[in-house]
Each structure stands twice: as C-alpha cells, then as structure tokens.
C-alpha cells in the first residue's frame, strides 16, 4: 500500500462484480451432487460465519459461483437467487472449454471455488463475510463450509452487517473528543486494516491483520466510540427484566424509546461520552474515555466521586472498589469506523446499530476488567471486486496467436499494490504486472500477448494477488488461445499412391507441438465433424506423425473423401479434423501455389496496389481463376476480380502489419486461401495547428545526411533548432530540416531535433533513427535495449516491444510532451497520451541508464482517433518473469501521497464524501 489513508471516496457506485462475466442462471437442488449451498443473512449476533436465531435471512439475493479446475481453467459464472430462508443452491454443471475438454466439478482436492453475492441494499448494509473471503479456495481453504468429496459443498455462507449510523449512535460531531491515548483502563483499542484473507480453519473467522496474506493496516482512518449514561444503562436493564424472552428487535426498539424518553425528561444526551481517534501508520487506534464516577452503573461503591457524573481525565482510578473508582459502561457501548463510500467492514461485536457489551463475542474482542475492551478490529472488505479477462473466454470467444488480451480490475482496495499473474495450462508463469490501484480501486489493464508461434491450443489464466503474496488468488479468469490443425487438400488418381503432409495450424502456419499424436478417429465414439466419411477407407492409413498414406486401387470411385483424424496434443487437448482427399484427376490446387508480393508498404492517407499473384515459377494463374475477399478483410482493402488488391488506408489507420485474406478459386473448383501482408506506415501529420511548420520523423545511414521537407506552415524568423544525440541539425532556406550524424554515431542511435519558435516554445520534435551505413557496419551497442518510434490515437495507450538487449536495474524514463510512460516487466515501453493530447503532438520518452546516460529516445506521434479499425496495438509479455526496473513516470500512489501532503481530510463520513 502506498503512503496515506482513506483520502478520497469513490465517486462512482459499486460495480456489479458479475456484470462482465455474463452469468448463467443455474439454480440447484439443496445438497445435490455438483452443487454449492449456503445461506445469505444479516449478521447481528455471534460469529458471522454461521446463521444464528437472531440473524435475519435475506431472500431473493443474487448469488454467484465460479470454480477453477485442477488444470487452472476457470469456469463460466453461475448464479441463483436465495429463498425466503436465505438459503441458496447453485448447480455447477459439466462444461466444455473452447478446446473441447470436459470439466466436472467434484468438490475434490485440486479444484477451487469462489462465491459472492449482490448486496441487497448498499445504502443499508456492508458485505461483512464471504466463505474463503470471496477468494478462490479449495477443500482446505475455508472457515465454516464443508466439501463432500465427489458430491457437493455446503455452509458456503455469506453475510452483511448494518452500516453504522454515526449520527444516531454517537454524539453530534461538535461534541466528539479527541482521544489522549493515555491507557491504563477506560479505553478501547484495536486496528483497521485491509483484509485480503485470514487463516483458514477457524470456524469463527476472527479478524486479525496478517501480513503473510497481504493484509495491510490502514492509516488515517477515524474510529469513534460512545457509551450511554448510567441512568440509561439502568433503564435498559429494567426493561429486560420486565420483558422476559424478548427478541433482538424488541430490545433494539426499546433502546430507541428509552433514549428518546430520557433525553426529553432530562434535557441531557443519553450518550455519556463520544471519543474519536485516527489510526496510526500501522492502522492502530486507541479510544481513551474520561469515565463516570463510581464503581459501575449498578454500584457506586465507596468512591467519593459523584456517581454517574463525568470525571476529569486527570482524576479517578479505573480499579473497582476504591475511593476514586470511575467507570465506562462497556456493557452498553458502540464503536465504529468512519469509512468512505465503496468500502465496508466486518464489525466484530457491533454488527447492529444498538448499544451492547464490547466484548460480547470472546473470539472477536476481550474485556480485561478495567472498564476497557481490547482487540476491537475492523477488517475492511472489498465490496464489489471485478476481475475479468476482456473480449475472450474459455468457451465461445477464443483468442488466436498474436492477439493481445487484457484484464479489467475494479473494486479493489484503493491505493494498494497488487500483482496480476498470467499462467499457462501447466501453471507456468508467462507474464505479470504490478500496479497500484487508484483512489477508485481500479487497476491498469495487464496485457498478455498470445505467442505468435503457438503450437497447441492453450488456456491462459490471469490471477489477482496482493503484491508479493502468492498464497491464494483473490480472483482469476481464463481464456483459451486456439490453433486449428488443417490438412491441405490432396489429389490422387485411382491405382496410384501419395502421402498427405502433416497438417499445419491455419492461424499461424505452425506445426503441431512436438509430441502431438495422430490416429484415425473413432467414428462411433469421437465427435466427428460434419462431412466426414462414414467409414475410414482401407486405402488411407493415418501415420503417427500426422501424414496419411493413400493408395486407392483402380476400383475406388472418383470423388472427395474427408478422412477424420484425431489429434491429441501434449497438454491433453483433443481435436478431430478432416483431411480432404480427392480421388481422381489431380486438381489445380495441388500444383499451383499462388504468390503475392510480401513487401507491400503503403502510407496512412495514401493508396497503392498489390499486383495479382503468380505461381511459384512466376507464371500467371490459370485462365478463369477467380478471386474474392476472405474473412475479416480490412475496410481499406479491396480485392479486385483480377486478383490485384487496392489498398487505401486512411490517415487514422494505426501504422503496423496487416493481413488481407484472399480466396482463390480455380477453374476446376479447387481453392486456395492466401493471406497477403501489407505494411501501413505513418503518413502525413494531419496537424490541427496546420499553420506551424512540421517535419516527419526519418531514418538515415549513420554516415549520411538526411534532408526532411517541411510539410506544414512557413518557418518564421527567430526559429531555432536544439539537438540531442550524436549529430547536428539546421533549417534550410526552403524550410527543410537537414540532419547530419556525427562521426561517432552508430546504427540504432537517434538524433532528436527540437524546433522552437522565437519565444522558446517547441514547435515540433523530429526523431531521426540511424541505420547501418552502406556496406553494413552493424549495431555496435547491440546489448542495449531499443524501441521503435510509434504512433497512436490520442485516446489509446501504445505498448512498444523492446527489440534490443535486456533492461537493467536502475533504468528510468523521462517524458516530454502530453503523456506518460513506463517500462513494463517484459521490457516493453508503455506510452499513454494525456487527456489534452491532440493529433500531431509528440510524446518523447528518453530512456536513461542508472548513471543518467540516454540509452534510447523514442518518439510517439499522436494520430487521429481510430474509426472502423479493430486492430490492437500489441504489448509483449515475456514467457519468463522479468523484474520491472526504472522509474514509473505515473502512478496513483504518487497522487495519494501528494494529496496527503496537501492536507486532505480523512475523517469525512460516507454521507459527506458522497455529497462532496
């Protein structure tokens, strides 16, 4: 956690934690196999894990469940509503992931379960308890619930408690006294902390701050305590004596009436004292009361102090039975924290808005006997945690190689550090991010890039942890990355033989992973794709390496035969694919391989043409060949009838590598699918301040001068150029910018020219990247990290992969221009434009080593906002964890610290925070 306490209240309403997960309605039968069962109730007495007679069941509350299988795959979210008695039962049905693997909940070791619920009235209740703290937990990770192996889970309970009514339970704020923390009796001590989880196995789930689980004390939190006057306490006792067998609600109502009547009769407050304290850096508080004269409210004793009257702080003794005895009515007191909206707490012995004994539940607090209560802790709880893998899942939305997948996290504790860890289906860590939550409890997305060379279907899981604590995930979500083995159509004439090649993955052209097994599919048992042969012909033999030997004799009828082949990957994923074999004359697709140019480059805002393809020998394709666009052709690309492709990316298209899919159909009806690479580069600047001069970034050999034309307005008198990097620059008479590398410049270096007006304002920043001289000198500083320049819309973050050496400890980033930057765990450079960034602006990130030397200068140009273009900028996450180095240029922690230094108050009640 960063420095500071509860500084700001969330300005938004709590988010429905299941909204992103598209929950599936799945009501179960109580205690049936494959179900999770429990109660949701208002906790009013006793421990909060078990429903007591005075607790109130909550009906029609929406409860959610999600489970994680032994292989780490996270299920969909299931939901059901509670019944009139507060009970719920959610069925966890068998389900198949996107790879076809079946998952069955067996309430078994290795499987994990998470349950949570919607608060029925956030204005009235705090969420105070969820089994396993609402985290993913297994059979050993529980307080009260029971897992019956191969059957079901029950007592998976969840509770709410009443939000403290500060104005009702304590004196008016003007009458609050600041605690002296003197000690020795007449006091209440405890702590306020962020509760990630507790020590499982204790059925009462007492609250205790345990750093081993990531719990952190919360400084700067106001805790307030009050107790009633002696006469009020005596009237409470008299009412109870006169109403044998009274209910919880009856006595609560009686307290209100007795207090109202007492205050009307006496003109005094029914509350004897209200004292407040602010938690220290460890989250601890100490409420010191002054006390009332006498041994207790029942007995004056021999004390010479006026019975029941206030005693000055420096007088009296907390020991009973002496002439200076004074007391605090711990039997009828109320202690509560003052929290901003969006946070809640487990209230220990003060679950309801009424006065009671401070040590009533022994496991939650103790009363040593000197008018004091100890260990009154308030465990702050995440009220609506959201953790989601966006856009992709494990069922109907798989990702493909090269896809960037992000997380969405909200509802965490504010200004607190968390780790998000990505793992594959073997549990191997493949990426991670560490981030500090905002004042609203929101974390930056943690991006993961599916490897482009993925060679087997893989499920990846993102897990949320307190920073540095990997004992139990607070939440998790998964997605499946899919690759599909595809056999190329093969033709063979009757009476001849041939071999079908091992299939390649259609998404990226990779071979199935080493160790993948191939076998004829079982027509009767396996799930066979539509169009397969009813029986595998004897003339087709599926080999263990995926090849297929085909030898149809002369009597085999001509035609198309789709042979089903079962593919089993090393990770256990199974697929049945079809190998299309044409018996008859050889088809054109068997001998023709259409080739498009592989080096097409077009600038954003300009147009070009990719010429029609030719075969491998450079000949035109057969006459009558037809060309049509394949799936997901970019909007700016048009496949023409002759096979040529017209490309015209607009200025707002993000520069990068694109694929244009084309389906080629030959005169005999056979087909080929081709993906044509097109590289879009940065076009004109498109400045909104067109009256100013503007130059494009450029590159030049390290031994050559480059002249960059001015594409903007005129260069006026007084314009100057400042240069950083190995070179010099000057503006020519025609407004062009002439940049000359120095003698010691080497490939990979960058020369940054800042053009300023007569008042010293930067008009433009131009980056010239040095390349190999003719003859190829090669980069001499290959060990250094290096990042390409880039562009991004003003409302999008861009992540630039490191194409050089490792980022070492001590590396920092300095930023000029409207934005911020940081180096990721994988060495990538993440650049985020600020809210006032506009097209044509530049963000210049200078990466420096530990001694302050510039390693690289990266320029990110702000382009027009993308419209009608779904391409995502890629952030690379390493397969092995790399420690984050350097200085993050931005962070919520810094903002929090600044607010504290500015003296932002921390004791505003939730209501006041909301009004502010």
Are the CB atoms for 58 and 84 separated by under 8 Å? no
Which residues, including other chains, have CB under 8 Å from residue 439's CB and lie 6 or more apart?
7, 8, 10, 414, 415, 892, 895, 896
Angle between helices 248-266 and 230-242 (to 10 degrees): 140
Q: Looking at residues 60-75, what average pLDDT do you find?
A: 93
In 347-391, DSSP assigns E strands to: 373-382, 386-389
Tokens representing 871 are 């391409």
Closest by Cα among 845, 864, 695 to 796: 864
pLDDT reading at 890 higher than 60: no
pLDDT the model gives residue 793: 83
CA distances from 126 to 340, 352, 354, 525 (A): 12, 11, 16, 52
> What pLDDT, on a 0 to 100 scale, did the predictor assign at position 445?
94
State yes or no: pLDDT of 37 exceeds 80.
yes
Most confident of 238-247, 759-768, 906-915: 238-247
How many C-beta neighbours within 10 Å does residue 795 have? 12
Residue 885 has pLDDT above 80, yes or no: no
pLDDT band at 912 (very low <50, low <70, confident <90, very high): very low
Q: Which two tokens stand for residue 597?
A: 């140019």
Do the domains spanning 490-586 and 600-681 agree at the CATH topology level?
yes
| pLDDT score recorded for residue 915 | 35
CA distance 603 to 405: 27
pLDDT of residue 12: 32
- The count of residues in the chain is 916
> Mean pLDDT: which of 100-104, 540-544, 814-818, 849-853 is highest?
540-544
Residue 179 DSSP symbol: -
Per-residue pLDDT at 900? 30
Least confident of 26-35, 159-168, 338-347, 896-905: 896-905
How far is 553 from 555, CA to CA, in rounded Å? 5
pLDDT at 18 over 50: no
| Model confidence at 870: pLDDT above 80 | no
At 383-419, the pLDDT tens digits run: 888 999 999 999 989 999 999 999 999 989 888 999 9
The 10s digit of each residue's pLDDT in 259-290 is: 999 999 999 999 999 999 999 999 999 999 99
In the predicted model, is pLDDT for residue 897 greater than 50? no
Higher local confidence (pLDDT), 890 or 250: 250
pLDDT, tens digit (0-9, with 9 covering 90-100), for 600-614: 888 888 888 999 999
Mean pLDDT is lowest, of 132-146, 672-686, 752-766, 868-882, for 868-882
Residue 206 — pLDDT band, cuts 50, 70, 90? low
pLDDT at 908 over 60: no
CB count, 10 Å around CB of 415? 28
Between 857 and 480, whose confidence is greater?
Answer: 480
Residue 171 structure tokens? 């004196």
What is the predicted pLDDT for the residue at 280? 96
Residue-level pLDDT at 774: 58
| Contact between residue 805 and residue 785 where contact means Cβ atoms under 8 Å apart | yes
pLDDT at site 210 = 81
Q: What is the pLDDT of residues 334-379, one digit of tens each?
A: 999 999 877 899 888 899 999 999 988 777 788 888 999 999 999 9
With a pLDDT cut of 90, the percent of the chain lying above it is 57
The domain ranges of the chain are 19-162, 166-289+335-382, 291-327, 490-586, 600-681, 698-867
- The whole-number pLDDT of residue 892 equals 30
- DSSP letters for 526-577: S-PPTT--SS--TTEEE-TTS-EEE---TTSPSEEEEEEEEEE-TTS-EEEE
Contact, 93 vs 28, CB < 8 A? Answer: no
Left (φ > 0), alpha (ψ -120 to 50) or beta: where does 749 sit?
beta
185: left (phi over 0), alpha (psi -120 to 50) or beta: left
Least confident of 187-201, 634-648, 776-790: 776-790
Lowest-confidence pick of 62-71, 239-248, 303-312, 865-874: 865-874
Predicted confidence at residue 114, as pLDDT, reads: 93
Compute the mean pLDDT over every residue in the chain, rounded to the nearest whole number. Answer: 86
DSSP assignments along 573-626, one per residue: -EEEEEEEEEESSPPHHHH---B--S-EEEETT--EEEPPPB-TTSPBPPTT-E
Pairing of strands 498-500, 812-816: unpaired
Report the relative pairing of strands 24-25 and 78-81 from DSSP bridges.
parallel
3-state SS class at 823: strand
Alpha-carbon gap, residue 3 to 904, rounded angstroms: 13
Under CATH, which architecture does the 600-681 domain have? Answer: Sandwich (2.60)
Fold entry, domain 19-162 = Immunoglobulin-like (2.60.40)
The pTM is what? 0.62
d(CA 122, CA 119): 6
- For residue 115, the cross-strand partners are 65
Could you give the C-alpha distances from 481 to 20, 125, 422, 464, 476, in angstroms and in order?
20, 41, 13, 20, 17
**Is 705 buried (19+), middle (13-18) or exposed (0-12) by CB count in 10 A?**
middle
- What does CATH list as the number for 490-586? 2.60.40.10
Q: What is the pLDDT of residue 21?
A: 57
């Amino acid at each position: 956690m960063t420095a500071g306490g509860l500084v700001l209240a969330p300005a938004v309403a709590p988010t429905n934690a299941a909204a992103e997960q598209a929950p599936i309605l799945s009501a179960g039968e109580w205690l049936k196999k494959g179900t999770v069962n429990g109660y949701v109730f208002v906790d009013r007495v006793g421990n909060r894990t078990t429903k007591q007679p005075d607790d109130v069941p909550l009906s029609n509350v929406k409860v959610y469940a999600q489970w994680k299988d032994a292989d780490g795959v996270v299920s969909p979210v299931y939901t059901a509503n509670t019944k009139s008695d507060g009970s719920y039962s959610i069925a966890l049905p068998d389900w198949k992931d996107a790879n076809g693997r079946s998952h069955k909940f067996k309430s078994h070791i290795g499987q994990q379960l998470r349950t949570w619920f919607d608060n029925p009235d956030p204005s009235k209740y705090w969420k105070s308890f969820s089994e396993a703290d609402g985290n993913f937990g297994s059979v050993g990770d529980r307080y009260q619930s029971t897992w019956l192996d191969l059957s079901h889970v029950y007592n998976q309970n969840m509770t709410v408690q009443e939000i403290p009514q500060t104005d009702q339970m304590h004196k008016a704020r003007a009458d609050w006294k600041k605690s002296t923390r003197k000690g020795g009796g007449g006091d209440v001590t405890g702590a306020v902390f962020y509760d990630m989880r507790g020590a499982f196995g204790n059925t009462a789930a007492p609250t205790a701050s345990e750093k081993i689980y990531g719990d952190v004390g919360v400084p700067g939190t106001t805790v307030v305590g009050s107790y009633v006057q002696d006469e009020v306490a005596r009237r409470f006792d008299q009412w109870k004596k006169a109403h044998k067998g009274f209910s919880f609600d009856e006595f609560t109502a009686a307290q209100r009436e007795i207090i109202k009547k007492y205050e009307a009769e006496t003109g005094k407050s029914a509350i004897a004292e209200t004292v407040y304290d602010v938690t220290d850096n460890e989250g601890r508080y100490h409420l010191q009361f002054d006390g009332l004269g006498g041994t207790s409210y029942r007995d004056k004793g021999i004390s010479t102090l006026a019975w029941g009257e206030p005693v000055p702080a420096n007088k009296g003794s907390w020991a009973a039975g002496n002439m200076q005895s004074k007391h605090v009515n711990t039997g009828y007191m109320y202690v509560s924290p003052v929290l901003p909206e969006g946070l809640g707490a487990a209230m220990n012995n003060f679950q309801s808005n009424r006065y009671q004994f401070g040590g009533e539940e022994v496991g939650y607090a103790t009363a040593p006997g000197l008018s004091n209560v100890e260990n009154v802790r308030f465990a702050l709880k995440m009220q609506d945690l959201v953790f989601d893998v966006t856009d992709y899942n494990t069922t109907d939305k798989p990702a493909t190689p090269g896809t960037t997948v992000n997380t969405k996290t909200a509802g965490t504790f504010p200004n607190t550090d968390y780790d998000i860890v990505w793992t594959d289906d073997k549990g191997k860590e493949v990426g991670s991010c560490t981030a500090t939550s905002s004042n609203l409890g929101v974390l930056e997305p943690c991006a993961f890039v599916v490897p482009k060379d993925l060679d087997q279907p893989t499920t990846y899981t993102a897990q949320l942890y307190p920073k540095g604590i990997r004992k139990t995930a607070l939440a998790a979500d998964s997605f499946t990355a899919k690759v599909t083995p595809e056999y190329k159509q093969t033709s063979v004439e009757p009476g001849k033989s041939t071999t079908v090649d091992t299939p390649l993955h259609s998404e990226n052209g990779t071979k199935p992973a080493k160790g993948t097994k191939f076998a004829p599919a079982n027509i009767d048992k396996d799930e066979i794709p539509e169009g397969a042969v009813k029986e595998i012909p004897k003339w087709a033999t599926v080999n263990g390496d995926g090849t297929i030997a085909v030898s149809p004799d002369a009597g085999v009828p001509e035609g198309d035969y789709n042979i089903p082949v079962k593919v089993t990957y090393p990770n256990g994923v199974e697929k049945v694919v079809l190998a299309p074999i044409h018996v008859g004359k050889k088809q054109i697709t068997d001998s023709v391989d259409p080739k498009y140019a592989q080096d097409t480059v077009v600038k954003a805002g300009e147009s070009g043409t990719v010429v029609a393809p030719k075969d491998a020998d450079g000949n035109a394709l057969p006459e009558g060949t037809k060309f049509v666009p394949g799936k997901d052709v970019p909007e700016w690309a048009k496949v023409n009838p002759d096979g040529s492709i017209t490309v015209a990316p607009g200025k707002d298209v993000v520069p990068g590598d694109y694929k244009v899919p084309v389906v080629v159909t030959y005169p005999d009806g056979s087909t080929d699918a081709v993906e044509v690479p097109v590289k879009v580069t940065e076009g004109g600047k498109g400045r909104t301040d067109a009256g100013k001069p503007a130059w494009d970034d450029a590159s030049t050999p390290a031994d050559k001068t480059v002249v960059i034309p001015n594409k903007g307005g005129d260069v006026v008198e007084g314009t100057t150029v400042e240069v950083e990097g190995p070179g010099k620059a000057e503006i020519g008479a025609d407004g062009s910018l002439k940049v000359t590398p120095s003698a010691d410049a080497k490939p990979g270096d960058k020369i940054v020219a800042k053009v300023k007006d007569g008042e010293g304002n930067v008009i433009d920043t131009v980056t010239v990247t040095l390349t190999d001289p003719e003859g190829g000198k090669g980069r001499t500083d290959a060990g250094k990290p290096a990042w390409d320049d880039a562009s991004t819309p003003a409302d999008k973050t861009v992540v630039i992969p490191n194409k050089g050496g490792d980022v070492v400890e001590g590396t920092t980033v300095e930023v000029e221009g409207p934005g911020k930057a940081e180096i990721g765990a994988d060495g990538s450079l993440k650049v985020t434009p600020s809210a006032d960034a506009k097209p044509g602006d530049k963000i210049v990130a200078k990466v420096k080593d530990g001694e302050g030397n510039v390693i690289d200068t990266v320029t990110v140009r702000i382009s027009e906002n993308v419209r009608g273009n779904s391409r995502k900028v890629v952030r690379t996450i390493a397969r092995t964890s790399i420690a984050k180095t350097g200085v993050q240029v931005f962070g919520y922690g810094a903002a929090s610290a600044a607010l504290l230094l500015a003296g932002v108050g921390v004791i505003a009640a939730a209501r006041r925070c909301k009004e502010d």
